[in-house]
Amino acid sequence: MSSRPDLKLDWCSFEAAKFAVERWHYSKTLPKNKSNYIGVWEDGVFIGAIIFGLGASPSLGKPYGLTIFEVCELTRVALNRHKSQVSRMLSIALKMIRRKNDRLRLAISFADAFHGHHGGIYQANGWVYAGKTASAEMWRLRDGSLADPRRFSGHGHNKPKKVPVGSVLFKTPPKHRYLMPLDDEMRARIAPLARPHPKRAGSAASGTTDFQSGRGGATPTPALSDNERRSDGPA
């Protein structure tokens, strides 16, 4: 039996987080909103980053009676192959973000059904499943990549950008929404929102279409999913 690896999480630089996301996350991009970057090391080797977005949307906390300063979004879990359980990493990361900002009361994350994910890492970590979001629109560009429609819209004095010829606008399926309360009062507040956990996309018991299973999802990566099959279970 292999020994338990030495797991370490610590704050890391934008450059380190970018390195992890570009190599080990399906999106290959970092969110542009203000973020906190937590690096992950096993046996002294950098294996990825966990990223929390702060102030991503003024309305993110409104359904739960929270201000923009009281809620954060777990936006990326970008990991190379690893031995430690992701649920353990998330537990440590949540404690770190909570200590850094004692005003935070709730963390939110989304599992992307379009990429074949149902939120297994959140279920293993004790997050509350709160149902699905509304469908969203995306552009599929000529090269096969996806783009948010806002990428081509103008803001303020900026002129709208033209969508490349041959691109197709389509609706994505709803995402799964998960909540992690950071204090007892918030846990009691969101308890009525809890719903039965969804099953793995494409399974016999699942009502979710398996769109692009195995490619990595809203937060996990292909490498993470391979390891999670032996531990927590992939999102």
Global pTM reads 0.73
The distance from CA 154 to its chain's CA centroid, rounded to whole angstroms, is 27
Alpha helices, H only, the chain: 14-24, 86-100, 120-124, 184-190, 222-228
Interval 194-235: pLDDT, tens: 999 888 754 333 332 322 222 233 333 333 333 332 233 233
Model confidence band, residue 30 (pLDDT cutoffs 50, 70, 90)? confident
Going by C-alpha positions, the residue among 81, 114, 92, 98 that lies closest to residue 210 is 114
Average pLDDT over residues 87-97: 96
SS3 143: coil
Query: CB-side exposure of 24: number of CA atoms within 13 Å?
Result: 24
* pLDDT at 163 > cutoff 50: yes
Is 180:190 a contact under the CB 8 Å cutoff? no
The distance from CA 22 to its chain's CA centroid, rounded to whole angstroms, is 15
Annotated domain spans of the chain? 7-135+174-228, 136-172
Domain 7-135+174-228 has CATH 3.40.1390.10: no
Is 124:219 a contact under the CB 8 Å cutoff? no
CA distances from 41 to 21, 23, 46, 63, 213 (A): 15, 16, 4, 36, 27
Query: Which position has the token pair 């927590």?
Result: 232
Task: Tell me the sheet residues that pair with 128.
Answer: 179
Which of 12-21, 118-127, 138-147 has the least mean pLDDT?
138-147
Within 10 A of 183 (CB to CB), how many other CB atoms are there?
A: 13
Q: What are phi and psi of 105, to 5 degrees?
A: -125, -15
- Distance separating the N- and C-terminal Cα atoms of the chain: 27
* pLDDT at 191 > cutoff 50: yes
Average pLDDT over residues 18-40: 91
Model confidence band, residue 171 (pLDDT cutoffs 50, 70, 90)? confident
pLDDT of residue 31: 82
